[in-house]
Chain A
Amino acid sequence: MSAARSVLSLSKILQPWTGLKGSTVSVMRPVMCTRREKSSYTVSVLLKGRDVLLVLGDLICLTDWGLHRFCCVPVDFEVVNVDSSLTSEDEINNAVTAIRRNGVALKGNIETNHNLPPSHKSRNNLLRTSLDLYANVMHCQTLPGVQTRHKDIDIIIIRENTEGEYSSLEHENVPGVVESLKIITRVNSLRIAEYAFRQAREKGRRRVTAVHKANIMKLGDGLFLQCCKEVAAGYPDITFDNMIVDNTTMQLVSKPQQFDVMVMPNLYGNVVSNVCAGLVGGPGLVPGANYGKDYAVFETATRNTGKSIANKNIANPTATLLASCLMLDHLGLHDYASMIRKAILRTLSETRLHTADLGGQGTTSEVVQSIMKEVQKGGPLTSEKI
């Protein structure tokens, strides 16, 4: 019964831009569709082309998939279900295996119930550490058509993604006294610093700023800073400076234009990327990418589940759609990436279609439809039907 319900709801979502209810259902039929309360779907769709793993945490990813099919992007999506309410780690382990197989994934955020005991680890964190996705990259840019307090922001934030405060190593030696370990290693600090400088050079950036709290955490953040300095010595064309994290946040809200590329450990990365996302217009606009040596996972930059606005057709799909463009770039499909990206930005400058988070009244489906129209205008790469 629930299977039938989910098939129907799927076709309802896809209908606006497929117009072919029958054919969408027929594609679903050979596969079991289950839709659970607040998580995702298990659907396999077969298309020709390269394989990409789709891990669904929310509805937005599905609309994204629909858009890619519309644009005839030569990508197969393998969808993996991760139910956030289950306590066993089997599902996330399956997801990790699948990503290892495919190499690239697109992901929604999986909710962590922080009232469960510590044995229940954050699924998102498990994914990142198992695949060693050591660099989280977020490019924060002022976007056209979006009203913000600050203009001309163009910051690349590179955040160490596997260690630091997110080591999940905690213990209670004495009742009422909890110790949480923050681990900083030379190897990972050098690695992320190297990544940051390489990116800066590739993208023609002038300055890299390391964000830290080494005046207080002299050994931990001191080591991180030391590693950054060492790597900086090998890139004399790029200016390197550093700033303490509390001063950084203060500067970000008063003069964000002064920052170029920023590199930092895990927790400060969390804070700084959320501040920057807020500065350019909110969580619905900024895509994020997690890169490892062998794998890459793309998602929204601020990793929100958006529980309060789920299933109401008011969520802003821009962040996930832009994340999928990053994915296409990563796969080398630059033409498709720029085509979709241009369409997204053109739709964004149309204030009438802004979703609620941008102060408008547009719906998710309206935005996606407008993007598809823009893509159609752009050239012959689209299809009318599936």
Chain B
Amino acid sequence: MAGNAWRSTVSRIMGAVKSQTQPRTFSRGMQTVTIIPGDGIGPEISTSVIKIFEAAKVPIQWEERNVTAIKGPGGKWMIPPEAKESMDKSKIGLKGPLKTPIAAGHPSMNLLLRKTFDLYANVRPCVSIEGYKTPYTDVDLVTIRENTEGEYSGIEHVIVDGVVQSIKLITEEASRRIAEYAFEYARNNQRNSVTAVHKANIMRMSDGLFLRKCREVAENFKDVKFTEMYLDTVCLNMVQDPTQFDVLVMPNLYGDILSDLCAGLIGGLGVTPSGNIGANGVAIFESVHGTAPDIAGMDLANPTALLLSAVMMLRHMGLHGHAKKIETACFDTIRDKKVLTKDLGGNSKCSEFTAEICRRVQDLD
């Protein structure tokens, strides 16, 4: 009796302590992740991912937020404060495709998010998916793209009628930051080499600065091999033999082109994961395909891209076991070819594909 009273007291106290400390470490307790379903097929693929994560018993609780552009005080466009608050607290986000409005008067949502959280690195691991045949096999590379400046600074002027000047901005700070991230990524993920992609023969000062910063950072990471290659040579060699590349780091425009080129090698944007790393520890993982309004709401979408991005997110959070389980289940399903969505060559619905992956995940337990 006294024992019971003692135990209930202890548990009451422990309960109070637990609720106050709010565990934020990855290893115990539930980690909060902000999920932004997005537009078009976004909501359905987000639901798929949530279901699969549940089946895998991943210790994550989701906080759903919507992102639309609103005009803040002072007339500047911004994302809704609830969304920003949630991201600032959780630090990790998963995002579906967002509609890019034409002539809406405000910049694209992706651009807004990038500016709000200073998402300076876009990371795209491109790994050949066994079971999804493309002319290229054994692709295993990562493109790391500087995401804030370069050719996408958005600074353009009409000098005189008929002459337009677009400014490409390269700064020491941003170049150093992306180079450091690239080398750290290589080290943390057991990659052997980092290649800087540039066009310094033509853009001597700008790409020259980028290259110099990469070389400087390379000095501090002697365990990772550093090479430099012209953009055109990379393109030429990439389509002939992509296995020679490991981690590629580059400024904005080249990164845009090369990361999409590499996505094409493994099967397109429907199966490519992507992550954006920001300052202050913020990271948003996203699917990079479009909103596919023509199939939205019809249960035909392929959640693979968002799922693989979520797996990337788990690895970023240190939940490697869960990541491996879900990834294996997904790849096994695709390799088996029995339950595939239309874009992968099958006839199944999104929900069936999701259910199949859930089943495999549970079997793997």
Residues of A within 8 A of B (CB): 112, 114-118, 120, 122, 125, 149-150, 165-166, 168, 170-172, 176-187, 213, 215-220, 223, 245-247, 249-254, 267-268, 270-271, 273-275, 277-279, 282-283, 302-304
Contacts and interface: CB of A to CB of B under 8 A. Distances in A.
A187 B162 CA distance: 7
A165 B204 contact: no
Given A247-B260, A274-B233, A220 B136 contact: no
Interface in B106-162: 134-136, 151-152, 154, 156-158, 161-162
Interface stretch (B48-56, B91-99, B166-174): B166-174
Contact of B264 (A116, A125, A254, A304): A254
A181 B264 contact: no
B264 A172 contact: no
Given A165-B199, A171-B205, A180-B168, 6 more contacts: A165-B203, A177-B169, A249-B260, A249-B264, A278-B240, A303-B232
A182 B232 contact: no
B227 interface: no
Given A176-B173, A275-B236, A279-B239, A253 B205 contact: no
Contacts of B13: none
Given A176-B171, A178-B171, A216-B152, A250 B164 contact: no
B202 interface: yes
Given A270-B231, A271-B257, A183 B205 contact: no
A182 B239 contact: no
A220 B253 CA distance: 14
B170 A302 contact: no
Nearest to A114: B200
Given A170-B205, A181-B167, A252-B264, A282 B236 contact: yes
B151 A182 contact: yes
Interface of B: 100, 134-136, 151-152, 154, 156-158, 161-173, 199-209, 211, 231-233, 235-240, 253, 256-261, 263-265, 268-269
A183 B264 contact: no
Nearest to B231: A271
A149 B154 CA distance: 38
A253 B206 contact: no
A247 to B, nearest CB: 7
23 contacts: A112-B201, A114-B211, A116-B204, A122-B202, A165-B202, A165-B203, A170-B205, A180-B170, A180-B206, A183-B165, A187-B162, A213-B253, A216-B154, A217-B151, A223-B162, A249-B235, A249-B257, A253-B261, A267-B199, A270-B231, A271-B257, A278-B237, A279-B239
A180 B235 contact: no
A275 B173 contact: no
Contact of A217 (B166, B171, B261): B166
Contact of A183 (B163, B199, B233): B163
Nearest to A278: B239
B204 A275 contact: no
Contacts of B161: 186
Contacts of A254: 134-135, 264, 268
Contacts of A274: 232-233, 235-236
B292 to A, nearest CB: 15
Interface of A is mostly: mixed
A374 B261 CA distance: 40
Contacts of B205: 118, 170-172, 178, 180
B202 A182 contact: no
A253 B136 contact: yes
Given A166-B202, A218-B156, A149 B136 contact: yes
Contacts of A253: 135-136, 239, 261, 264-265
B260 A114 contact: no
A170 B199 CA distance: 13
A185 B206 contact: no
Contacts of A178: 169-171, 205-206, 209
Nearest to B232: A274
A251 B264 contact: yes
A259 B85 CA distance: 47
A271 to B, nearest CB: 5
A8 to B, nearest CB: 33
B239 A185 contact: no
Contacts of A118: 204-205, 208
Given A149-B136, A185-B162, A275-B236, A125 B169 contact: no
Nearest to A222: B164
A32 B203 CA distance: 37
Nearest to B269: A250
Contacts of A219: 156-158, 164, 166
Contacts of B238: 275, 278
Contacts of A112: 201-202
Nearest to B258: A249
Contacts of A171: 205
A180 B240 contact: no
Contacts of B135: 149-150, 253-254
Contact of A220 (B156, B207, B240, B256): B156
A105 to B, nearest CB: 21
**6 nearest A-B residue pairs (beta carbon):** A186-B162, A250-B264, A278-B239, A176-B172, A246-B260, A114-B200
Contacts of A249: 235, 257-258, 260-261, 264
Contacts of B152: 216
Contacts of B256: 213, 245-246
Nearest to B238: A278
A125 B134 contact: no
B126 to A, nearest CB: 11
B240 A250 contact: no
B179 to A, nearest CB: 14
Contacts of A246: 256-257, 259-261
A170 B135 CA distance: 40
A277 B208 CA distance: 26
B170 to A, nearest CB: 5
B236 A277 contact: yes
Contact of B164 (A116, A185, A271, A278): A185
Contacts of B204: 114, 116-118, 120, 168, 170
Nearest to A121: B204
A220 B203 contact: no
A115 B165 CA distance: 26
B209 to A, nearest CB: 5
B167 A177 contact: no
A122 B200 CA distance: 10
A170 B206 contact: yes
Nearest to B228: A114
Nearest to A177: B171
A272 B171 CA distance: 27
